Structure formats: structure tokens, C-alpha cells
Amino acid sequence: MLDGLFKPRAIAVIGASNNPLSIGYIVIQNLAAHGFKGPIFPINPKGGSIQSFKAFKSVLDVPDEIDLVNISVSHKLVPGVIEECGRKGIKFAIVHTAGFKEVGGDGIQREKDLVALAHRHGMRIFGPNSQGVQNSDPGISAYANFTFVPMKPGNISIVAQSGGMGEVLKAHLHNVGLGHRMYCSYGNESDLTMPEFLEYYGQDEGTRVIMMQIESFKDPAAFLDVASRITPHKPILALKGGRTREGAVAVSSHTGALVDQVAMTQAMFRRAGVLGFSDTDEMIKTAIAMSSQNPPPGRRLGIITNTGGPGVQAVDESIDRGLVLATWSDAARARLKASLYAEASVGNPVDVVATAGPDHYFAAVDTLLKEDGVDMVMVNFITAPFVDLDGIAVRIKEAASASSKPVVSVVMTIEKWAGLVRKLRESGIPVYDFPEDAARSLAHMARYDELRRRPVEAPPALDVNREAAAATVRRHEGRDAFIPQADAFALLAAYGIGVARTVAIASRDDLDRAGIAFPAVLKVDSAAVVHKSEQGGVVLGIRDAAALRAAYDALQGRFGGRGVPCVLQEQRAAGREVIIGQAACPGLGALVMFGLGGVFVEVLRDVSFAVAPLSRQEAREMMREIRGARILEGVRGEPAIDAEAVETMLCRVARLAADFPAIVEMDLNPVLAYPAGQAPVAVDARIRIR
């Protein structure tokens, strides 16, 4: 439990001083200015007083019990004060001080020693090189952090890896008149880690929405576990920095993290039901909407507007983001007709016209919310000088309050009528500047509702020959190399993964013994030949024994000598090419990849990722998620592929990867998928075992 960290009864500030530029000074100022409910004990070797608080020379001199210390003394002094804190029985230390792992060299050991020292005293370290924590709960009011955005109560809790981005998130909530619940930016994550904060937020009743900014995962498995348990009852919105190669390098240069976490992030967010964002503003705006509105029970949006243009923008963006325009009953249309001005239009968007007043807005919002076919409502409003703005705000709120469906508003105005914006916000109706922003937030909320309600399915039970696979894996383990094709096919076959019949050909004599029916394919099978097709290492359409021998001789000639290993394979009928891949993911297990073959992967990068093992539901999602998904359903007169069979293959590959961590890479490319009733088969497979 992190109560001592987030709900401290007393705080000591070590490194407190009267220098207003020092972290110690600012922390005390922040704590005092926000009315921390417990006593604050400045610690300074000179004693005296700091900002009217009596200063102590050491925590050991403080008469009271202390839950939390903020430490900002030089890194050389940190071990000494930690030792004292330990003897005092303090359980949590926020170490602001830099000069540890992030500077490399000695700093790495310094950090390890620090954590070991703390643990000897049963103390946990937050940081070092960290910004601190906040809890706005009026009964606590702990601003144990050296930043500047004022704190006030709210129900969005924030965890940010970058202190700068944490400040940006808080500043924006502040600027729209909202507060936040808890906050932390955890620096080096030497001891206390991000999943622990997340878990604490998940259990906090005052937290309705969790917003996180992250650049690298120290412990992906722990994050996945914690996040998966939270999202069914509380949304997690996450901004992941470093989605481009250049962005990842920028992350790396300032956090020292591994470069490529993009695929892992996508896979984890899917599994955990986390809403991922690439745009900071979009995440904040969505969090704000979710802090007061329920997620919509479906994707059907009703739009109300008082001029046409913004309605069009709302429609375009909503459709682009996967929402659906609601339609309504004749009764609803009749009520709208009867309630609105004659010039109003009663389709979707409802145009109440510029001169509409409070009762018109009430009728429009209320009518739409009461329709079964409407899951959410967006009200666009360009302020007009001649209508009763206060009344409109009151009546929109009144209609919204009678429904559990979300209502958001877009108020396009100037500071003169900022009162309407304030009034709506205070009543809990989210207010946007532009219809497109509202549409994006609603789409994310609809997605969250689907995520939290999706069936939680276990990976399917599969008949596999684990012993046979284990034997193959054992035979290659320790070399960190791609294994021969025939072994790769055998390994797949052991897990019931359909493969084209394939036999290793070590010499010309093997050709006669192979027992592969014609037409057949002969391929070189050498680690040195990576792009077999492009390098002329594959002979297709071999129709008889003579052609087979000729093909063999040709390959031997092309690849410089006798005895170049080959495989002989039955040639399968053409099918829809797909790719199934796998890659070990340190700290998490294995990722599985799905994509359409050929240029779809290589040029369009149209692939999806998930964490192994897979449930059928997840395998299905992976297949649906690629841009070219409709191709699998059959286009241009071609039949649909047997999607369930491919799903099963994905689950089997994932199971194989999960069962044998030594398999660090699999690339089944292509897999030929066929219409219903015909099993898909891998016709080429590269497997690397470490």
C-alpha cells in the first residue's frame, strides 16, 4: 500500500532552505500554500526556521512520526539522510536529487546502493531524479512536488514519466477550470515503479479517470497485469512518446530506454484495454469528457447545432473516427418539429437555428437522449448576442442530467460570453472549442465502452505435442541462430500449425527418397541466403523427377558448390497470402504479428500485434484491425478466407511462442489461407532459437 506516499500524515523536507530557488524551499511553499493537513518539518543542518516553520537539524530530532520525506540534498549526502530516515522509521522517501542512474558511470551503482540501503530499513524510494507526488483530496492536500501548477480537487489522476509532460497535463486541466486527483512523476523508477502507482489509482475511489504519459516500460508484464485489472471499471488513457523511429531515439537519448517499443505498446494496450493516444491535446480533452460523462453504450451519435457549417465538420470527423450518425423515430421528429422554430431541420444534425433559446435546446437534447437509437449527443453552439445564454446552459444541463448517456458541447465564442462556457463546465458538461475535438473524444469514449464490455476469454485449449516441440527446441538451443527449414516445419507441425509437406535434402540422393508428390518446390535452406526468392534460391512448379534433378543441380551451381542444403516441398495451390510472425519481447513474453502478405507488409506496414498467448477474441481483433481486413472477406469475386482457421493458427503460433521462450523469432511468410473448410498452410518459415 502506498498510503504513506499519497496520504502522508506528516512530511519532512530534507534540504529545506530559505533560498526561494531551491527545491526544498519550493516544496515547503507548495505544501503550505495548498494547506497540507499534517505538520511540515523542514530539515536543515543549521536549524532555525524556514518559511515560518521551525527547522530541525535532522529527522531524528523531529518529535512526531513521519510518513514521507522529500529529499533534495546533493547526491553525496543522500545515503546519510536515508540512513537517518530509516532509523526514524520513515516508510517513503521522494528523492528529487539527480546524479544517479541517469548520469551513467558511478551513478548506476550509487542508485543500486541507495535502494539496498532503503530496503534494509523497510523504506521505499520514489525516484531519484524525480519530481514528486500530489494528492488533492481535501482531507490530505499534499503537494509534495516542486512544480508550479496550482492544485485543486478533481477526479482525474495522472502518472507521467516526463515531469515536463506531467506539468503540461496538469496545466491544461487547470486552464479549463478543472483540478486533478493524484499525480506523480517518478524519475528513475529505481524502486517504486509505475505499475504500483497505477494500481493505487485503480483502487482510489476518488479517481474516475487515469491519464498517463509514458516513454518506456521498465516492467511491461507488471503494467499489463495492473492495467488489465483496472480498465474494466476505470478508463486508462495513455500517451506513449516515441512512436516514430526518430521519436524513439529522442526518448532514448533522454531516458536511456530501448529504442523500439511501438509494437509492444500496441499489443499491451490492446490486451489491457488501455486507450492509446499520440496527440497530447486529444488525450486531455478525452479525459475531461470522461471525468464527468459516462461512456456511450454504442456508436450512434446525435448532433445538434445552431448553424450548418459546424454541423458538417462534426459529421465529417465523427464518421472518420468510426462513429455512426443516429437516426430517430417519427415520434422524435414530430416532437422536434413541434418544439423548434419552423426553419429548424429535424434530421441529424438537428439545426435548431441561430435564434434558438433555452426551451429549443432542451427539447432537442431531451428528445435525442430519450431515443433508443441514440447513444450520445453533441451540442454545437455559436453564441448569438440575442439569446438567453444562461438559460441555454441550464436547460442543456437539465436535459443531460435526466440521462445516463453522454452529452458534450462545443461552444464557439469570445471572452465576452465566457460565462456560458464556465456555466456549462461547472455543471459538468464538457465544452470544446471545435466540433472535431468533440467528435474525437466521443469516438474514444465509445471505444472504451467496447473495451470494458468485451468478453474476457481465456486462450483456447489446443491439442499440441509439447514433447516433440521441446525436443526440437532443445536440439537447437544455445546457438541463437535460424534453424533449418525442415526442423522449423516440424516444430510448427508439432503444434498443429498447418505446413506444406517439406523434406530436407542434404544430397542429390535424398531427392529420390523424399516422397514428395509433384508439382513440387525446391528451395535452398541456408542461413546465408535470407531472401531466397529474390536470390534465385527457389524453383517452383517442378513436375517430374528429371526436372527435380535439374533444379537441384541448378541450385547447387548457383549457390557455389556441392552439398548446399535444400528442402523439397509439395507445391500448394494459390491462396490468399498472409503473414504470421512472432518476436520475443523482453519483460513481457512474446508478441504475435498478423498481416497481409507481400507489399501490404513491406510497403504499407499494415500489420497488427498482440501479446502471446492469444484468445480467439484477440486473434479475431488482430485480423480485423489491419486496414486491408476487408480483403480477407473476399473481394472482386473471390471467396472469403476461412477466418476461423486462421484465428486458430494465430492462437497456435502464440501458444508455441508462450510455451518456449527460447524461440525468439518466427516468421511464417507466406501462410496461404483458403476458403472455408480448407486449412491454411505455412509454405515458408524462419524460426530463430536462442
Instruction: Name the helix (H) or strand (E) containing 33.
Output: helix 23-33
Size of the site for a copy of itself (CB under 8 A): 88
CA dihedral 645, 646, 651, 653 (to 10 degrees): 120
Residue 382 or residue 679: which is nearer to a copy of itself going by CB?
A: 382
> Considering only residues 76, 87, 245, 543, which one is a binding residue for a copy of itself as defined by CB under 8 A?
245
Residue 256 or residue 428: which is nearer to a copy of itself going by CB?
A: 256
Alpha-carbon span 100 to 108, nearest angstrom: 6
Q: What is the distance in angstroms between the CA of the first residue and the CA of the last residue of the chain?
A: 39
> Considering only residues 136, 266, 292, 383, which one is a binding residue for a copy of itself as defined by CB under 8 A?
383
| Minimum distance, C-beta of residue 607 to a copy of itself, in the bound complex (Å) | 14
> Considering only residues 8, 187, 220, 349, which one is a binding residue for a copy of itself as defined by CB under 8 A?
349
CA distances from 291 to 207, 287, 312 (A): 9, 6, 27
| Minimum distance, C-beta of residue 616 to a copy of itself, in the bound complex (Å) | 24
> Considering only residues 139, 233, 253, 513, which one is a binding residue for a copy of itself as defined by CB under 8 A?
253
Q: Per CB under 8 A, does 356 bind a copy of itself? A: no
Q: Which stretch binds a copy of itself (CB under 8 A): 6-14, 19-27, 199-207, 446-454?
A: 19-27
Asked if omega into 79 is within 30° of 0 (cis), the reply is no
Q: Per CB under 8 A, does 278 bind a copy of itself? A: yes
Position 362, amino acid: F
Q: Per CB under 8 A, does 319 bind a copy of itself? A: yes
Query: Interaction with a copy of itself in 255-274: which residues (CB under 8 A)?
Result: 255
Residue 319 or residue 464: which is nearer to a copy of itself going by CB?
A: 319
Assigned C-alpha cell, 405: 448517456
Q: Per CB under 8 A, does 164 bind a copy of itself? A: yes
Alpha-carbon span 614 to 270, nearest angstrom: 11
Q: Per-residue contact track with a copy of itself, 118 to 157, x per CB under 8 A?
A: ------------------------------xxx-------
CA dihedral 460, 464, 467, 468 (to 10 degrees): -140
Beta-carbon count within 10 A of 619 CB: 29
Q: Per CB under 8 A, does 350 bind a copy of itself? A: no
Best CA proximity match to 328, nearest among 344, 312, 348, 345: 348
| Minimum distance, C-beta of residue 524 to a copy of itself, in the bound complex (Å) | 15
Query: Interaction with a copy of itself in 474-533: which residues (CB under 8 A)?
Result: 531, 533
> Considering only residues 310, 498, 589, 670, which one is a binding residue for a copy of itself as defined by CB under 8 A?
310
Convert 590-611 to b/e letters by CB count within 10 Å (16 or more is b). Answer: bbbbbbbbeebbeeeebbbbbb
R_g of the chain computed on alpha carbons? 31
> What is the sign, positive or negative, of the torsion defined by CA atoms of 540, 544, 545, 551?
negative
Q: Per CB under 8 A, does 104 bind a copy of itself? A: no
Burial of 412 (0-12, 13-18, 19+ CB in 10 A): middle
> Considering only residues 202, 430, 435, 498, which one is a binding residue for a copy of itself as defined by CB under 8 A?
435
> Considering only residues 135, 213, 292, 339, which one is a binding residue for a copy of itself as defined by CB under 8 A?
213
Q: Which stretch binds a copy of itself (CB under 8 A): 57-65, 304-312, 481-489, 674-682?
A: 304-312
How does DSSP classify residue 598? T
Q: Which stretch binds a copy of itself (CB under 8 A): 310-318, 467-475, 547-555, 559-567?
A: 310-318
Specify the residue for cell string 501490404: 600
Residue 293 or residue 318: which is nearer to a copy of itself going by CB?
A: 318
Best CA proximity match to 85, nearest among 189, 186, 5, 12: 12
| Minimum distance, C-beta of residue 162 to a copy of itself, in the bound complex (Å) | 3
| Minimum distance, C-beta of residue 318 to a copy of itself, in the bound complex (Å) | 8
Q: Which stretch binds a copy of itself (CB under 8 A): 18-26, 465-473, 557-565, 656-664?
A: 18-26
Full DSSP string of 298-366: SSEEEEEESSHHHHHHHHHHHHHTT-EE----HHHHHHHHHHS-TT-B-SSSEE--TT--HHHHHHHHH
> Considering only residues 51, 193, 345, 556, which one is a binding residue for a copy of itself as defined by CB under 8 A?
345
Distance of CA 204 to the CA centre of its chain: 21
Q: What angle do CA 86, 87, 91 make, to 5 degrees?
A: 35
Q: Per CB under 8 A, does 281 bind a copy of itself? A: yes
Q: Which stretch binds a copy of itself (CB under 8 A): 105-113, 119-127, 250-258, 615-623?
A: 250-258
Residue 434 or residue 559: which is nearer to a copy of itself going by CB?
A: 434
Convert 17-30 to b/e letters by CB count within 10 Å (16 or more is b). Answer: bbeeeebbbbbbeb
Query: Interaction with a copy of itself in 598-657: which residues (CB under 8 A)?
Result: 598-599, 602-604, 627-628, 630-631, 635-637
> Considering only residues 54, 57, 87, 254, which one is a binding residue for a copy of itself as defined by CB under 8 A?
254
Q: Per CB under 8 A, does 684 bind a copy of itself? A: no
Residue 148 or residue 518: which is nearer to a copy of itself going by CB?
A: 148
Q: Which stretch binds a copy of itself (CB under 8 A): 67-75, 168-176, 357-365, 476-484?
A: 168-176
Best CA proximity match to 68, nearest among 100, 46, 43: 43
Q: Per CB under 8 A, does 329 bind a copy of itself? A: no
The residues with which 595 forms a beta bridge, in sequence order, are 579, 607
Alpha-carbon span 235 to 242, nearest angstrom: 22
Alpha-carbon span 76 to 165, nearest angstrom: 29
Alpha-carbon span 250 to 244, nearest angstrom: 10
> Considering only residues 3, 64, 433, 553, which one is a binding residue for a copy of itself as defined by CB under 8 A?
433
> Considering only residues 32, 168, 263, 504, which one is a binding residue for a copy of itself as defined by CB under 8 A?
168
> Considering only residues 191, 436, 525, 621, which one is a binding residue for a copy of itself as defined by CB under 8 A?
436
Assigned C-alpha cell, 462: 489446443
| Minimum distance, C-beta of residue 169 to a copy of itself, in the bound complex (Å) | 10
Alpha-carbon span 139 to 571, nearest angstrom: 73
Strand pairing report for 49-50 and 685-689: unpaired
Residue 307 or residue 617: which is nearer to a copy of itself going by CB?
A: 307
Query: Interaction with a copy of itself in 550-609: which residues (CB under 8 A)?
Result: 598-599, 602-604
Q: Per-residue contact track with a copy of itself, 403 to 422, x per CB under 8 A?
A: ---------xxxx-------
Full DSSP string of 454-508: S---PPPP----HHHHHHHHHHHTTS-EEPPHHHHHHHHHHTT--B--EEEE-ST
Query: Interaction with a copy of itself in 25-84: which residues (CB under 8 A)?
Result: 26
| Minimum distance, C-beta of residue 6 to a copy of itself, in the bound complex (Å) | 22
Residue 315 or residue 593: which is nearer to a copy of itself going by CB?
A: 315
Q: Which stretch binds a copy of itself (CB under 8 A): 380-388, 392-400, 491-499, 615-623?
A: 380-388
